[in-house]
């Protein structure tokens, strides 16, 4: 088992990572001084996989529990579903110190987190991430949100959880596409801050994606290394105005690719394309070595992630890339890699260079 502490003054909390940790839920809640009642928020699919068991574990540990399910899918990360949760919380007689246990991927974590932040002006929140993406990213750092009016994560709050429990065993049931979604972010962490992590993934890519998965020891190490980086960024920059921005490597072009493809291209795949675009921009600026870019594209391709765009209109990707971004004098802000293991915020990337790179990244 691995432990990380996020030092944020009164909002400090722990992340525990290991195999079979859901079994320890009663003990973990007691350590936080929580007792009596707990509410589990999940979706029907995860309820069957882990929720019912969690409910029994809570009962065995002396908790009264209430399990609330939402339909599965990004489209349900909405104010309507938040309203539904408030209603169910009220039916469950939730009190100020009743913990909300967000059991699922990033959709459940973001939505249950938002409701926990606002119900009775804030009730305790325990993140129990069950996807690789949620374990390495979304469950950590306190960003909670719902989508609204066609805009992603537009209504939300910074609300740190009281504890994150990443039970590695839950990754055993993850479908291959969801493994890829998380793996793309894992590779991103390697490029931003951890060359050893990148090498670990390079050496073990078939054990992470192949038939022999899951390798729990390997996954524990991978999740730990990513969570440690995110924890450090969040400690330094809780509100995401500085170093935390580095987590957006590959996301500027990535989001544009997702949008222009009408979300046909999934997040992890789009981020992979975005990372290669950022690598190419940095290469052409004489910053990122060609050998590192080759290693990145090879690793993505061995993982089954794309490095090139196909079937999309580059001019629309360019338009979407500039959406919401400060563009001045034909220049845009980008996260760029310096080497594998170090990235930085570049304020003055020429839009013409971005366009050229996107054209060259076209199949």
**Contact positions vs ligand GLY (CB under 6 A):** 137, 141, 143, 240, 244, 247
- Expressed in angstroms, the distance from the first to the final Cα of the chain is 44
Stretch that binds ligand NAD, among 44-52, 79-87, 189-197, 329-337 (CB under 6 A): 44-52
247 interface partner picked from ligand GLY, ligand NAD, none, CB below 5 to 8 A per type = ligand GLY
Q: Does 237 bind ligand NAD (CB under 6 A)?
A: no
253 interface partner picked from ligand GLY, ligand NAD, none, CB below 5 to 8 A per type = none
Residue with smaller CB distance to ligand NAD, 163 or 361: 163
Q: Does 51 bind ligand NAD (CB under 6 A)?
A: no
Number of residue whose CB is nearest ligand NAD: 106
Of positions 170, 184, 248, 280, contacts ligand NAD by CB under 6 A: 170
Write 358-363 long-range contacts (CB < 8 A, 24+).
Answer: 358/253, 358/277, 358/309, 358/314, 358/317, 358/318, 359/314, 360/280, 361/273, 361/276, 361/277, 361/280, 361/307, 361/308, 361/309, 362/308, 362/309, 362/310, 362/314, 363/308, 363/309, 363/310
Closest CB 145 distance from ligand NAD, rounded Å: 7
Of positions 55, 162, 167, 178, contacts ligand NAD by CB under 6 A: 178
Closest CB 222 distance from ligand NAD, rounded Å: 16
Task: Build a one-symbol-per-residue string for 134-163: x at contacts with ligand NAD by CB under 6 A, - elsewhere.
Answer: x--xx--x-x---------x----------
Residue with smaller CB distance to ligand NAD, 174 or 227: 174
Asked if 124 and 214 count as a contact pair (C-beta separation under 8 A), the reply is no
Closest CB 234 distance from ligand GLY, rounded Å: 7
Closest CB 159 distance from ligand GLY, rounded Å: 13
Closest CB 210 distance from ligand GLY, rounded Å: 27
> Which residues 68-87 are close enough to bind ligand NAD by CB under 6 A?
72, 74, 77
CB neighbours of 326 closer than 8 A, spacing ≥ 6? 332, 333
43 interface partner picked from ligand GLY, ligand NAD, none, CB below 5 to 8 A per type = ligand NAD
Residue with smaller CB distance to ligand NAD, 219 or 357: 219
Q: Does 249 bind ligand NAD (CB under 6 A)?
A: no
Binding site for ligand NAD (CB under 6 A): 43, 45-46, 49, 72, 74, 77, 104-108, 110, 130-131, 133-134, 137-138, 141, 143, 153, 170, 173-174, 178, 181
């Amino acid at each position: 088992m691995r432990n990380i502490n996020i030092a944020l003054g009164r909002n400090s909390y722990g992340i525990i990572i290991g195999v079979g940790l859901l079994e320890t839920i009663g003990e973990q809640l007691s350590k936080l001084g929580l007792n009596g009642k707990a509410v589990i928020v999940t979706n029907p699919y995860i309820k069957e996989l882990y929720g019912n068991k969690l409910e029994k574990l809570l009962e065995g540990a002396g908790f009264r529990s209430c399990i609330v399910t939402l339909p599965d899918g990004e489209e349900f990360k909405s104010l309507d579903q938040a309203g539904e949760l408030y209603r169910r919380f009220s039916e469950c007689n939730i009190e100020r110190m009743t913990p909300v246990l967000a059991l699922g991927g990033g959709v459940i974590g973001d939505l249950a987190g938002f409701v926990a932040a606002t119900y009775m002006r804030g009730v305790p929140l325990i993140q129990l991430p069950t996807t690789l993406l949620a374990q390495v990213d979304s469950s950590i750092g306190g960003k909670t949100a719902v989508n609204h009016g066609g805009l992603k994560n537009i209504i939300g709050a910074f609300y740190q959880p009281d504890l994150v429990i990443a039970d590695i065993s839950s990754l055993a049931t993850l479908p291959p596409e969801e493994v890829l979604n998380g793996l793309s972010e894992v590779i991103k962490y390697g490029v931003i801050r951890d060359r050893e992590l990148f090498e670990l993934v390079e050496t073990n890519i078939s054990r992470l994606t192949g038939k022999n998965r899951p390798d729990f020891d390997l996954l524990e190490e991978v999740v730990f290394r990513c969570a440690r980086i995110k924890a450090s960024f969040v400690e330094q920059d809780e509100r995401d105005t500085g170093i935390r921005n580095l987590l957006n490597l590959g996301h500027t072009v990535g989001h544009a690719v997702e949008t222009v493809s009408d979300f046909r291209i999934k997040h992890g795949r789009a981020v992979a394309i975005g990372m290669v675009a950022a690598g190419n921009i940095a290469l052409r600026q004489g910053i990122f070595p060609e050998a590192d870019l080759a290693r990145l594209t090879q690793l993505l391709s061995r993982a089954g992630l794309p490095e090139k765009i196909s079937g999309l209109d580059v001019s629309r990707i360019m338009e979407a890339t500039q959406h919401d971004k400060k563009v001045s004098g034909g220049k845009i802000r980008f996260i760029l890699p310096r080497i594998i293991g170090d990235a930085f915020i570049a304020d003055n990337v020429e839009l013409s260079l971005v366009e050229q790179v996107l054209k060259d990244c076209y199949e």
